[in-house]
Structure 1
Amino acid sequence: YQIDAYDYSQWGFASGKVVEIGKDIEFLEDQSVFKVRCSLDQKYLLLKNGFRGNLKKGMTLNANFKLSRRTLFELLYDKMNDWLNPANNSLTHQ
């Protein structure tokens, strides 16, 4: 996440996870969107010199999401491969 209150070229980015994606389409500025709820992995950003900038309630941000595009065949093959070869499943290696 790029926190608007902090210059990302100095402070960098905050990381996090998608917690929930809304089920209903909403319209914002003539574009269809889904509400996404995210969580932050940390409550602060650090400068290279170690100075800490705390993230606070009400701060705005921009989020970039890592997406992948896969075909239905790829999704089904991956699930089948996990089922047939449980040793390859990343969940069993934690």
Structure 2
Amino acid sequence: MMRKLIIAGVLTLIVLAGGIPLYVQRYFKEEVVAGPSVTNVFKLSKYFDGIEGTIADTDVFELKGAEEGGKTLIIAGTHANEPSAALLAYFFIENLEVEKGT
């Protein structure tokens, strides 16, 4: 009986040791510095209120140029195993200078 309790305790510690870092990472807030062309920042729930208040309610950055022009949509971070896409989106938000369009 004592052996089962020890095994259960060790397994619980292993699960906690692996699960706590994942929990912390899930709620980690990445600081994004808005670049010169960012004109508006709002939540994704503006378009779908079903995600309001959840972890899926992410920031949307709108970049506008001084003149009217074409529009481009960049979506990144949809797959957790593709960090380069999210990094590129951060690069655009922080450095892109839009002259025309949105």
**Fold shared by both chains (TM-score > 0.5):** no
Which of 1 and 2 has higher RCO (CA within 8 Å, sep 6+)?
A: 2
Which structure has the larger Rg over C-alpha atoms?
Answer: 2
Quick check: which one's strand share is greater? 1
TM-score range (shorter-chain normalised) is: under 0.3
**Bigger helix fraction:** 2
Q: What TM-score do the two structures reach when normalised by structure 1?
A: 0.23
